[in-house]
């Protein structure tokens, strides 16, 4: 939540209700860096994100809406420069074909708020063989030790 500069009325770690909020409204609510990644599919520079080199135990949530996305046990040390996971919460993410920038990729979106999170590739480690390549700015992290 350290990203949160203004109160975000849509942020909840328990409410699973699908959100339908315009980008004009998100722009007023979200920090600038998060807005451009989450709502306009920008990509943060590699090796700059706070969760790239990070191995604490806990849960990852959507920084835009609080939806649960990943468990730290599915995170692995990747050399690509972004936080990488081999498995996502099935209730947390959705997928979309992305043919932008001359590449065929699978875009990963938050299932609750449709924000851009990153892309998924099939060159990850076992057991799934998947590599969810995520933007740190799109993620919120909570340590297990901080859970009530």
110 is catalytic: no
One DSSP character per residue, 89-143 reads -TTTEEEEEE-GGG--EEEEEETTT--EEEEEES---TTT--EEEE-GGGEEEEE
Question: Residues 128, 140: contact at Cβ < 8 Å?
Answer: no
Question: 79 is written with which tokens?
Answer: 């050399």
**Which of 65, 93, 108, 133 forms a contact with Zn ion (CB under 5 A)?**
65
One DSSP character per residue, 74-92 reads GEE--SSSS-EES---TTT
Q: With binding defined as CB under 5 A, does residue 113 bind Zn ion?
A: yes
Q: Least CB distance from residue 67 to Zn ion, whole Å?
A: 4
Q: Least CB distance from residue 125 to Zn ion, whole Å?
A: 26
Between 72 and 115, CB nearer to Zn ion:
115
Q: Least CB distance from residue 19 to Zn ion, whole Å?
A: 7
Diameter over CA atoms, the chain: 46
**Which of 110, 120, 133, 137 forms a contact with Zn ion (CB under 5 A)?**
110
Q: How many residues bind Zn ion (CB under 5 A)?
A: 8
Contact positions toward Zn ion, by CB under 5 A? Answer: 62, 64-65, 67, 110, 112-113, 115
Catalytic residues: 133
């Amino acid at each position: 939540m350290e990203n949160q500069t203004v109160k975000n009325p849509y942020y909840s770690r328990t409410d699973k209700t699908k959100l339908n909020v315009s980008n004009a409204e998100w722009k007023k609510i979200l920090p600038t860096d998060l807005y451009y990644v989450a709502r306009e599919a920008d990509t943060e520079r590699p090796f700059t994100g706070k969760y790239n080199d990070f191995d604490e135990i806990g849960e990852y949530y959507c920084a835009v809406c609080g939806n649960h996305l990943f468990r730290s046990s599915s995170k692995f040390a990747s050399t690509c420069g972004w936080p990488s996971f081999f498995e996502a919460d099935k209730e947390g993410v959705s997928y979309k074909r992305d043919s932008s920038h001359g590449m065929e990729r699978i875009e990963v979106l938050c299932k609750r708020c449709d924000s851009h999170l990153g892309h998924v590739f099939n060159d990850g480690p076992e057991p799934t063989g998947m590599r969810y390549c995520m933007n740190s700015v799109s993620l919120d992290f909570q340590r297990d030790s901080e859970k009530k």
